[in-house]
Amino acid sequence: MDIYNEKDKFYVAVDCIIFGFDNQKLKLLVFDRRIDPFKDSLSLIGSFVKIGESVSDAAIRILKDFTGLENVYMKELKTYGSVDRDPGYRCISVAQYALIRIDNAIKKIVEEKGARWYEIDNIPNLILDHNQMSIDALKRIEEVARYKPIGFELLPKKFTIPKLQTLYEAIYRRKFDTRNFRKKILSFDVIIKLDEKDRTTSKKGAYLYKFDYKRYRELQESGYNFEI
């Protein structure tokens, strides 16, 4: 074992599966490739890891290069390592999924970069194994959302409970009962009611809340379970 053989060296790529929420639907960020290989096809964003860079740093760099975003919720999904996954050269990809807030700033940035949001049940053909990555990432989000409050990563800093509910309904593709949903969310005791209302979606207006990261971490340390 442990025989060093120069032939057995690989390109290592990072591909990012980026999800956003536009207050209605859960969406995937897809890029129109302007350069070869696969020019004019659709793909996720990705790039090779540089030899002097950690895989996670590469992921952060790639996300920033393509979207301008930093401090984004991003986690490793899994490694895609089949021999023939990329016909051009032998390359393994460490896929990462990211959750971002869609606001006007990001909207503009991504459009400039030739990107588009697609609804998750209407994803177009992507290059290589990028469709599989998207499917796997979506499944992972469903799993993770079950016991970690990742939903807040997709919402603006200030959000209303009805929006939060719409988000979870988008993730799980089913409706929740308003009263039960509120009860559950509030019972976690990790969101703080603000004195402002959001009147953009109703005349009455809905109270804005913010996520209490500090309290969340406290509860998490003590083994609390956020199962939705």
Partner DNA sequence: ACAAAAGTGTTTGGAGTACACCCATGG
Partner DNA sequence: CCATGGGTGTACTCCAAACACTTTTGT
Please report the sign of the dihedral spanned by the C-alpha atoms of residue 197, residue 198, residue 200, residue 206. negative
Q: Sheet holding 158-160: strands in order across?
A: 158-160, 206-211, 191-198
Give start and end residues of each alpha helix (H) in 72-127: 104-112
Q: Let me know: does 210 contact 101? Beta carbons within 8 Å.
A: no
47 interacts with its own copies by CB under 8 A: yes
Q: How would you list the strands of the sheet with 26-32, edge to edge? A: 42-43, 26-32, 115-119
51 is an interface residue for its own copies by CB under 8 A? yes
Asked if 55 interacts with its own copies (CB under 8 A), we say: yes
**Does 161 help bind DNA (rule: CB under 7 A)?**
yes
Using rule CB under 8 A, residue 122 touches its own copies? no
Interface pick for its own copies out of 24, 32, 50, 108 (rule CB under 8 A): 50
Residue 81 sits in the site that holds its own copies (CB under 8 A) = yes
Least distance between its own copies and beta carbon 24 (Å)? 25
- Asked if residue 114 lies in contact with residue 108, where contact means CB atoms within 8 angstroms, the answer is no
- In the chain, what is the straight-line distance between the N-terminal and C-terminal CA atoms, in Å? 47
Region of 83 please: left (phi>0), alpha (psi -120 to 50) or beta.
Answer: alpha
Task: Work out which of 2, 40, 70, 221 binds its own copies, going by CB under 8 A.
Answer: 2
The CB-of-195 to DNA minimum distance in angstroms stands at 12
Residue 107, both tokens: 């909207």
CB of 36 vs DNA, minimal distance in Å: 46
Residues 70-99 close enough to bind DNA by CB under 7 A: none
Is residue 210 involved in binding DNA (CB under 7 A)? no
Q: Which does 10 bind (CB under 5 to 8 A by kind): its own copies, DNA, none?
A: its own copies
Asked if 118 interacts with DNA (CB under 7 A), we say no
* Of the candidates 95, 107, 96, the residue with the CA atom closest to the CA atom of residue 21: 107
Q: Choose which of 67, 93, 134, 160 interacts with DNA (CB under 7 A).
A: 160
Element (H, E) at 220: helix 213-221
Q: Which residues contact DNA by CB under 7 A?
A: 160-162, 177-180, 182-184, 187, 197, 199, 201-207, 227
Residues that bind its own copies in the complex, under the rule CB under 8 A: 1-5, 7-12, 35-37, 47-56, 65, 76, 78-79, 81-83, 89-90, 92, 94
